[in-house]
Amino acid sequence: MTLTTSLAPDSLSLASVQSISESFHEPEWLRQARLAAWQTFEAAPWPNYSEETWRRTRLTGFKVENYRLSTAALPQVVSRDELGRRMAGELKKIDSAGALVFRDSSLVYADLDEGLAAKGVILTDLRTALAEHEELVRAYLGAQVLASDNKFAALHYALWQNGTFLYVPRNISVEKPFQVLLQFSAGGTAAFHHSLIIGDENSELTIAEDYNGARGGMVDTAVELYPLASSRLHYLHLQNLDTSTWNFSTMRSSAQRDALYRHLQASWGSRLSKVWIDLNMEEPGSHGELLGLYFPQGRQHIDHHTNQVHKRPHGTSDLLFKGALDEGSRSVYQGIIHVLPGAQKTNAYQKNDNLILDERARADSIPGLEIEADDVRCTHGATSAKVQDEYVFYLMARGLTRKTAKRMIVQGFFEEVLNRVPVPGVRAKLETEIARRVGLE
């Protein structure tokens, strides 16, 4: 698809690419990167439904030209009291070491523990990081998720306006999590948020990003994560966008020698989500974990595509995705464990379980292995099942109603993932959303 420059000034067009770069007085290297990404976007074909990655997900009713950029306002940071009751209440749910709040592309709240700032921890918006730490941003921005990865990644790199930037220096361990709240506007706007998270050697950090809003809009994000040697990086992504939103996201981590990386993907919202998540075990001894929760209802369509790529020996990875589907919704899970030549002693696991709550709902699960080494242990599995009548009758025999019994079974189904969530406040958010969807709240 090619968009011309004759569209409105806030359209998704080459004119907007140039306008963003000029309005923020970006360095030449970034301007050129944007223009190259736009060329990649225009040259890339629209998703072909004969391709395996798009075979089960169709963009019927979606047109890029129907969306416009949100206003790229300069940051106007306010105090927590000025955020409003709802946002301030959300911040209180997690006892954090630092927090950012965005409204569209504008940073409206920022907080970081003074002791951590004195140690060199940086938590800010990507615009500020570019101005104050250009060399650091340039070294990592776009080195993980590439504009050539897919058409939506190219569009993102051409039009991103702001994002999350977190850097934890070498040998610094941050016990409390960081949190980021993002509220996107309604009314046909397109949001392009970029997250750049770097854990330097022997550091430890946890960050939770919570996406909300975007009624009638489109969200196209990229998340780049760098757990460097011997670091421990935990990333929690909570997507609870409006059920009218088109959501596209490309996420990639690159675990270095003896690094530990954990990723939680909670997909509650959106009309349609197409999410690519790559775990790259780059060096010996690296370990990656990927947890997923999804609970679509009605016309929602949730599609996750994962890659566990082992490049060096003695790496481990573990994936567990669980989804409940109700009211005619649909999910797609497609995952590959890829062990490259020489990555001996790899230990990798992949499992996708689905609980079907409605006869009209459908779950497609396609796990896979691609093994190019001969001394490895790699397994995968997938299940899809309805709620068993005998389980319901067992609970009803103990005085529960059929509806309550069904709710308890759903909550128990998700418990295996919830038990592995490292932040109590995040787990509480997940439990609240599950309870809401099964009608307990």
Token readout for 225 is 């994560």
Is residue 328, in this structure, part of any structural domain at all? no
Q: What is the pLDDT of residue 401?
A: 82
Instruction: Tell me which of 246, 269, 294 is where a domain ends.
Output: 294
Q: Would you put residue 178 in left (φ > 0), alpha (ψ -120 to 50) or beta?
A: beta
Q: What is the pLDDT of residue 73?
A: 54
* Judgement on whether residues 289 and 400 belong to the same structural domain of the protein: no
* Judgement on whether residues 253 and 402 belong to the same structural domain of the protein: no
Nearest to 266 by CA among 127, 437, 107, 136: 437
* Judgement on whether residues 289 and 425 belong to the same structural domain of the protein: no
Q: Phi and psi (nearest 5°) for 113?
A: -55, 130
**Residues in the chain where the model's pLDDT stays below 70:** 1-9, 71-76, 440-441
Q: What is the pLDDT of residue 403?
A: 74
Is residue 71, in this structure, part of any structural domain at all? yes
Q: What is the pLDDT of residue 4?
A: 36
* Judgement on whether residues 187 and 42 belong to the same structural domain of the protein: yes
Bridge-based pairing of strands 232-241 and 204-213 is parallel
Is residue 260, in this structure, part of any structural domain at all? yes
Token readout for 150 is 């897919």
Q: What is the pLDDT of residue 315?
A: 97
Helix (H, G, I), strand (E, B) or coil at 402: helix
Tally of residues, the chain: 441
Instruction: Tell me which of 239, 260, 294 is where a domain ends.
Output: 294
CB 158 within 8 A of CB 187: no
- What is the domain extent for residue 208? 14-294
Q: What is the pLDDT of residue 310?
A: 98
Q: What is the pLDDT of residue 9?
A: 54
Q: What is the pLDDT of residue 367?
A: 95
Domain count, the chain: 2
Q: Phi and psi (nearest 5°) for 171?
A: 65, 15
Nearest to 267 by CA among 298, 239, 306, 304: 239
Instruction: Tell me which of 294, 325, 352 is where a domain ends.
Output: 294
Q: What is the pLDDT of residue 3?
A: 39
Is residue 384, in this structure, part of any structural domain at all? no
Q: How far apart are CA 335 and CA 173, in angstroms?
A: 32
* Judgement on whether residues 415 and 288 belong to the same structural domain of the protein: no
Q: How far apart are CA 258 and CA 228, in angstroms?
A: 9
- What pTM was computed for the model? 0.94
Is residue 310, in this structure, part of any structural domain at all? no
